[in-house]
Amino acid sequence: MTLKHTFMGAAAALALTATGVLADPAVVFDLGGKFDKSFNEAAFNGAERWKEETGGSYREVEMQSEAQREQALRRLAESGSNPIVMTGFAFGNVLSEVAPDYPETTFAIIDAVVEEPNVRSVVFKEHEGSFLVGMMAAMASESGTVGFIGGMDIPLIRKFACGYAQGVLAVNPDATVIANMAGTTPAAWADPVKGSELTQAQISQGADVVYAAAGATGVGVLQTAADQDILSIGVDSNQNYLHPGEVLTSMLKRVDNAVYDVFAAGDAVETGVNVMGLENEGVGYALDEFNADLVTAEMQAAVDAASAAIIAGETEVHDYMSDESCPALSF
Amino acid sequence: MDVMPKWAEVLLVPLISLVLAFLISALVILGIGENPLNALRLMINGALGSAYGWGYTLYYATNFMFTGLAVAVAFHARLFNIGGEGQALLGGLGVALVCLYIPWPHWTIALLGAMGAAAMFGAIWAAIPAWLQAKRGSHIVITTIMFNFIAAALLNYFLVELIKAPGGDPATARFPEATNLPTFYDMFTPLGLSFSRSTPANVTFFIAILACIAVWALIWRTKLGYEIRAFGHSEPAAKYAGISPTKIIMVTMIISGALAGMMAINNVMGEAERLNLNAAEGAGFIGIAVALMGRSHPIGVFMAALLFGFLYQGGAELAFSTSIPSQLIIVIQALVILFTGALDNMVRMPLERIFLTLRRPPKPKTKLEAAE
């Protein structure tokens, strides 16, 4: 008995050492850097959470140029990092070339689908989360006009806008949705002044709730909305705390969970397409002490009912990216 | 006038500026608790220590050669073309349209077609500000900067609405196989030189060298080049000599735009093999620094482009293998630009004084000269 225990203990110790030699995971941040208060930062937070909880270590690389994408992936794969997580659709094209060369390494890409046996593609149903916050915007609005401010005008952001507009119209079919994009260059993700200007313009058109899906540009949107005493809606991370009592809610996109899940699973991570929607809390709306007074019980009940209906498949939210068009909003 | 010998003018001044820039960078690296010598070794090894590193260094350098030449040509006519970025983006659009919609039988012909399209699109984009300058007096610095944004918006419209490949990424489909340019791997493996398969340097590098030679011949060996330089030195004098300012502004900017546009055969056709939104990634702006550092001479531009290629690739290696944040590489690049471009006189004037002292015969007259 004791002997058996000793053996089992030894085996367990061996197993532990075996995990110890296993490669560290790695995360590659897209252009924009890891402290963008938004998408990349959410990924960084997920990685940090994993580090804190497990005491493990991970490698990280920040992109400086387009040509470095392939370079970074190959370097990490060759140095034995596994799994390798990358943030952003822009890696899709490169990854489909790199992944077959490293069949032993598992890659995870966020916001794009790459069909290779060793790739986990994590995509989010941003349109569903946006639909819910759109409903809340319509219920909170007194003027019947609500705004949307996007970052760079790309299909992904139109997907946010389209879901939002559908949510607004689901509550109030007569509502007006004003949608603006901050720009057409990557600078549009980091232009709070432009975000502020657009918010002013939308207020002058009657908007009394604005939803920002614009990275750091959204900081300006939320600020101006708070200054002008209208409500705003944050994005990606929970931004309610930025202006307590002035931010109606935030549309959560749990990139941090996606990264955390991959890191926690290690090289046993499941490959294939991983859709993060309402059903697995990949997207959602934020409710905390900062917006508790703004969200009425009626509002919450309506949104939760809609959420349940979407999960059950009774309500379908149109995804802009499925056919590049939006029934509720024209761009 | 010529206080310093030519070699000092061309080599010593930039070299000292460079050393100064690196010294201050070293202080910054020390400040964040890393070993600067180690960092320098990593950069040199990463950028020049292997065929792999060279494959990236030369790829970046090729981009900078085109945009640097573009700025240099315009600068000979004292036109400051800040629009290299937009012209390169539009050049990319030209390359994409030609590669996607014309069935090319072989890459050599496709390359010629793409060069033509890239040059034409870039030239058109530069011609509009040029026309506004020549006919309306709208300052070319302002208009070319604004045209960068218009180019980005136009490209965005094309990539989001018109020529986007199905799927989420705002980019075109991959160009057909027949238009893929041979990389250094394809070219040099038969010769026994092993370049890594994944490095992006390609045949465009040699086209960039040809472009350097062509620009040299244009500026110093043709009538047009003479006119460009004459106009640059003095517009009234050039007018008096019968040179049309309108013609010189238009032609110079068209050549400049064409050169910037041709960068796209390297990054769009050679590397990405498709067009995406962020194709030029600031190379148009680096071109300004390259031209300044290279004194608008093709050989200088070639050397400066290599230096910036080294900084780009070495910097990437630094970020891969140390905890030095990638922003620091931008600091180093900025210091190099600052010292070689803006603070040029800081190095030049003491050097001139030294050379004067060395050359001067020991006569009492010297005091007067020194006072100057």
Q: What is the pLDDT of residues B45-60, one digit of tens each?
A: 989 988 888 999 999 9
What residues contact B79, with CB distance under 8 A and at least 6 apart?
B130, B133, B140, B232, B249, B252, B253, B256
Query: Given an 8 Å threshold on Cβ–Cβ distance, is B329 in contact with A321?
Result: no
Q: In angstroms, what separates the C-alpha of A324 from chain B's closest C-alpha?
A: 9
Confidence of residue A15 (pLDDT cuts 50, 70, 90): very low
Closest CA to A33 of B10, B176, B328: B328
pLDDT surpasses 70 at B41? yes
What residues contact A34, with CB distance under 8 A and at least 6 apart?
A40, A41, A43, A44, A60, A62
One DSSP character per residue, B190-232 reads GGT----TT---BTHHHHHHHHHHHHHHHHHHSHHHHHHHHHH
Cα separation, B359 vs B354, in Å, equals: 9
pLDDT of B330 reads: 80
A-B contacts (CB, under 8 Å): 83
pLDDT of B336 reads: 80
Confidence of residue B155 (pLDDT cuts 50, 70, 90): very high
List Cα–Cα distances, A159 to A209, A304, A326, in angstroms: 19, 21, 8
Residue B76 identity:
H
CB-CB contact of A93 with A44 (8 Å): no
pLDDT surpasses 90 at A22? no
Looking at 3.20.20.150, 3.40.50.2300, 3.40.1010.20, 3.30.1550.10, the CATH number of the domain A23-125+256-276 comes to 3.40.50.2300
Closest CA to B61 of B310, B256, B318, B333: B310
Q: Is A184 on the interface with B (CB under 8 A)?
A: yes
* H/E run at residue B148: helix B140-157
pLDDT of A63 reads: 80
Closest CA to A156 of A277, A329, A324, A330: A324
Interface of A with B in 23-42 (CB under 8 A): 31, 33
pLDDT of B1 reads: 46
Query: Given an 8 Å threshold on Cβ–Cβ distance, is B277 in contact with A68?
Result: no
Per-residue tokens: A195: 């975000």
Per-residue tokens: A303: 């949104």
pLDDT of A11 reads: 44
pLDDT surpasses 50 at A197? yes
Least confident of A149-158, A173-182, A225-234, B158-167: B158-167
Q: Is B318 on the interface with A (CB under 8 A)?
A: no
Confidence of residue B364 (pLDDT cuts 50, 70, 90): low
Closest alpha carbon within chain A to B167 = A321
Closest partner residue to A93 (CB to CB) among B160, B200, B274 is B274
A171-202 in b/e form (b: 16+ CB < 10 A) is: beeebbbbbbbbbbbbebbbbbebbbbbbeeb
List Cα–Cα distances, A168 to A70, A127, A162, A328, B89, in angstroms: 41, 12, 10, 9, 38
Cα angle B13-B19-B20, degrees, rounded to a multiple of 5:
90
User: At which residue do the structure tokens 């057909």 appear?
Assistant: B176
pLDDT of A74 reads: 87
Least confident of B50-54, B129-133, B202-206, B368-372: B368-372
Per-residue tokens: B232: 């640059």
pLDDT of B226 reads: 96
Nearest 10 degrees: CA dihedral of A126, A188, A68, B62? 150
- Supply the Cα-derived Rg of chain B in whole angstroms: 22
The residues with which A168 forms a beta bridge, in sequence order, are none
Tell me the pTM: 0.83
Coil, strand, or helix at residue A288? coil
Q: What is the pLDDT of residues B70-117, one digit of tens each?
A: 999 999 999 999 999 999 999 999 999 999 999 999 999 999 999 999
Q: What's phi and psi for A29, nearest 5 deg?
A: -90, 140
Q: In angstroms, what separates the C-alpha of B108 from chain A's closest C-alpha?
A: 23
Confidence of residue B216 (pLDDT cuts 50, 70, 90): very high
What 8-state DSSP symbol labels residue B257? H
Confidence of residue B167 (pLDDT cuts 50, 70, 90): low
Of chain B, the percentage scoring pLDDT greater than 90 comes to 56
Partners of B174 on chain A (C-beta within 8 Å) are 93
Residue A98 identity:
V
Cα separation, A261 vs B253, in Å, equals: 54
Query: Given an 8 Å threshold on Cβ–Cβ distance, is B171 in contact with A155?
Result: no
pLDDT of A154 reads: 86
pLDDT of A9 reads: 45
Closest partner residue to A31 (CB to CB) among B278, B325, B329 is B278
pLDDT surpasses 70 at A2? no
CB-CB contact of A276 with A44 (8 Å): no
Mean pLDDT of all residues in A123-138: 95
pLDDT surpasses 80 at A6? no
Query: Given an 8 Å threshold on Cβ–Cβ distance, is A154 in contact with B167?
Result: no
Does CATH number 2.30.40.10 belong to domain A126-252+283-323?
Answer: no
Q: What's phi and psi for B112, nearest 5 deg?
A: -60, -45
Strand pairing report for A283-285 and A247-253:
antiparallel
pLDDT surpasses 90 at B329? no
Of chain A, the percentage scoring pLDDT greater than 90 comes to 61
Interface test with chain A among B52, B169, B324, by most A beta carbons within 10 Å: B169
Query: Given an 8 Å threshold on Cβ–Cβ distance, is B277 in contact with A154?
Result: yes
Half-sphere exposure of A167 (CA within 13 A, CB side): 38
Neighbours of A19 (CB within 10 A): 10
Query: Given an 8 Å threshold on Cβ–Cβ distance, is A66 in contact with B278?
Result: yes
Dihedral sign for Cα B257, B260, B265, B267, please: negative
Per-residue tokens: B229: 């330089």
Same fold, A23-125+256-276 and A126-252+283-323: yes
Closest partner residue to A71 (CB to CB) among B164, B274, B316 is B316
Per-residue tokens: A105: 């390494």
Mean pLDDT of all residues in A61-76: 82
CB-CB contact of A262 with A269 (8 Å): yes
CB-CB contact of B52 with B227 (8 Å): no
Partners of B320 on chain A (C-beta within 8 Å) are 61, 72, 75
Query: Given an 8 Å threshold on Cβ–Cβ distance, is B278 in contact with A93?
Result: no
Per-residue tokens: A181: 């994009």
Cα separation, B191 vs B169, in Å, equals: 38
User: At which residue do the structure tokens 């019947």 appear?
Assistant: A144
Cα separation, A70 vs A91, in Å, equals: 8
Question: Which is more confidently placed, B70 or B358?
Answer: B70
Per-residue tokens: A42: 């959410």
Query: Given an 8 Å threshold on Cβ–Cβ distance, is B168 in contact with A321?
Result: yes
Q: Is A61 on the interface with B (CB under 8 A)?
A: yes
List Cα–Cα distances, A142 to A149, A175, A208, A218, in angstroms: 19, 10, 7, 22
pLDDT of A7 reads: 46
pLDDT of B331 reads: 84
Mean pLDDT of all residues in B251-276: 94
Q: What is the pLDDT of residues B18-27, one digit of tens each?
A: 888 889 989 9
Residue A280 identity:
N
What are the sequence ranges of the domains in chain A? 23-125+256-276, 126-252+283-323
Partners of A66 on chain B (C-beta within 8 Å) are 267, 271-272, 276, 278-279, 281
CB-CB contact of B87 with B261 (8 Å): yes
Confidence of residue B320 (pLDDT cuts 50, 70, 90): confident
A63: left (phi over 0), alpha (psi -120 to 50) or beta: beta
Q: In angstroms, what separates the C-alpha of A248 from chain B's closest C-alpha?
A: 29
Interface test with chain A among B57, B150, B198, by most A beta carbons within 10 Å: B198
CB-CB contact of A36 with A190 (8 Å): yes
> Angle formed by the axes of helices B140-157 and B107-131, to 10°?
130
What 8-state DSSP symbol labels residue B9? I
Q: What is the pLDDT of residues A78-122, one digit of tens each?
A: 888 889 999 888 888 889 889 998 999 999 999 888 889 999 999
Q: Is A77 on the interface with B (CB under 8 A)?
A: no
Partners of B153 on chain A (C-beta within 8 Å) are 184-185
Kindly list the structural domains of chain B, giving each domain's residue range(s) and its CATH number in brackets, ordered by start.
1-34+323-372 (no CATH), 57-310 (1.10.3470)
Cα separation, B171 vs B165, in Å, equals: 6
